[in-house]
Amino acid sequence: MGLSTLLLPDDYSSPLDILHTEIAIKTVKDSFERNLAKNLHLTRVSAPLFVGADTGLNDNLNGVERPVGFDVPDCRAEVEIVHSLAKWKRLALKRYGFGADTGLYTDMNAIRRDEELDNLHSVYVDQWDWEKMITNEMRNMDVLEDTVERIVIALKESEYILNDRFPQIKPFIKGSVTFISSQELEDLYPELPPKERENAICREHQTVFITQIGDKLRSGQKHDGRAPDYDDWRLNGDLLLWYPVLNRAVEVSSMGIRVDEASLDYQLRAAGCNDRRELPFHKALLNGELPLTMGGGIGQSRICMLLLHKAHIGEVQASIWPEEMIAACASRGIALL
């Protein structure tokens, strides 16, 4: 349980009551979704809540999380609630006929039963999942960094809209992004574990994008786990913001340029996941039958939590929490929905 990592800020007071919080959540979601679509040239599409268990389409996350599954008798099929739509989106881009530098976004709802619950993590996950077509010439760090900056602009635009409607909520996000690789970060703070490195770099630079996550560093350790079959570990990263309410770094997006045939081949071998080569999605990709894409997920509740200056994600989404956590939060004026 997450009580050991639960942060309870001293003298916390939500700037909005519950009713106005709900109004502000819609303001944030509407404005950010609109700005994200505009800045990245995206079209909204419908998306599945579950996928076939034998398709290889579900996101394996770090490879240890257990999907929630059930059977559909009429289809004689076993299905899984999605963890994310990283692979499904790539197939959808091909099917829908998007052109280069255009793409899709969708509301992704998931259940991650093995999450350790705390201020930032819930069993219920809601994201804007997005994906866009790219060319081979666009598979580079410049394109990735430009996309990150466009996402931060969308965040800033939403902050200003929220502040105009609720003046008591002051903007805090720094608009300029500091880019650093996971290896550069380890070299800078070799004595710190990865999460403390993130806190250290964000405390100094406020808005940070850490690149190249998934492979082993020179220390022999990974900065963080990444499934081998969606992001190219050389062309991906996490967007982090320094969050003064909790006095820590908070990840708001994991994204990247997706694997091509060569990087998927390498990463499956490096991760010891060669058995996935026979799954339909992986076989199609290794055969060069899927388009080149980039994409990511942006947490809806997490963005709302940050922009509304909340101390716990349960203040902006209805989920399930341990009774001890509910009581501990209530003792500090944190009302979980």
CA 269 to chain CA centroid, Å, is: 25
Residue 195 tokens read as: 């999460």
Residue 271 belongs to some domain of the structure: yes
Which one of the listed residues 254, 300, 301, 319 is annotated catalytic? 254
Residue 16 belongs to some domain of the structure: yes
CATH number, domain of 295, equals: 3.30.930.10
Does the annotation count 127 as an active-site position? yes
C-beta neighbour count of 81 within 10 angstroms: 19
Whole-model pTM? 0.92
Residue 86 belongs to some domain of the structure: yes
- Determine contact, residues 59/85, Cβ cutoff 8 Å: yes
Residue 249 belongs to some domain of the structure: no
Q: What are phi and psi for residue 282, nearest 5 degrees?
A: -70, -40
Residue 236 belongs to some domain of the structure: no
Does the annotation count 59 as an active-site position? yes
Domain count, the chain: 1
- Determine contact, residues 208/240, Cβ cutoff 8 Å: yes
Which one of the listed residues 80, 251, 260, 315 is annotated catalytic? 251
- Determine contact, residues 295/86, Cβ cutoff 8 Å: yes
Which one of the listed residues 238, 300, 301, 315 is annotated catalytic? 238
Task: Give the angle 102-111-72 at the CA atoms, nearest 5°.
Answer: 95
Provide the residue range defining the domain that includes 84.
2-172+263-330
Close Cβ partners of 205 (under 8 Å, ≥ 6 residues apart): 174, 178, 242
Close Cβ partners of 331 (under 8 Å, ≥ 6 residues apart): 8
Does the annotation count 238 as an active-site position? yes
Query: How do 124-133 and 103-111 pair as beta strands?
Result: antiparallel
C-beta neighbour count of 64 within 10 angstroms: 8
Query: How do 50-52 and 248-258 pair as beta strands?
Result: unpaired
Which one of the listed residues 14, 122, 127, 267 is annotated catalytic? 127
Close Cβ partners of 235 (under 8 Å, ≥ 6 residues apart): 139, 140, 141, 144, 211, 212, 256, 257
Close Cβ partners of 25 (under 8 Å, ≥ 6 residues apart): 304, 308, 316
Residue 265 tokens read as: 């081949």
Q: What is the chain's pLDDT, residue by residue, as a tens digit (337 residues)?
A: 457 789 999 889 999 999 999 999 999 999 999 999 999 999 999 989 998 888 877 776 666 778 888 999 999 989 998 887 878 898 899 899 999 999 999 999 989 888 899 999 999 999 999 999 999 999 999 999 999 999 999 999 999 999 999 999 999 999 999 999 999 999 999 999 999 999 999 999 999 999 999 999 999 999 998 889 889 999 999 999 999 999 999 999 999 999 999 999 999 999 999 999 998 889 999 999 999 999 999 999 999 999 999 999 999 999 999 999 999 999 999 999 8
Which one of the listed residues 14, 31, 59, 206 is annotated catalytic? 59
- Determine contact, residues 27/165, Cβ cutoff 8 Å: yes
Task: Give the angle 70-71-73 at the CA atoms, nearest 5°.
Answer: 155
Residue 307 belongs to some domain of the structure: yes
Does the annotation count 112 as an active-site position? yes
Residue 335 belongs to some domain of the structure: no
Which one of the listed residues 112, 197, 248, 258 is annotated catalytic? 112
* CA distance readout (Å), 218 to 234, 236, 271, 337: 15, 18, 17, 44
Residue 235 belongs to some domain of the structure: no
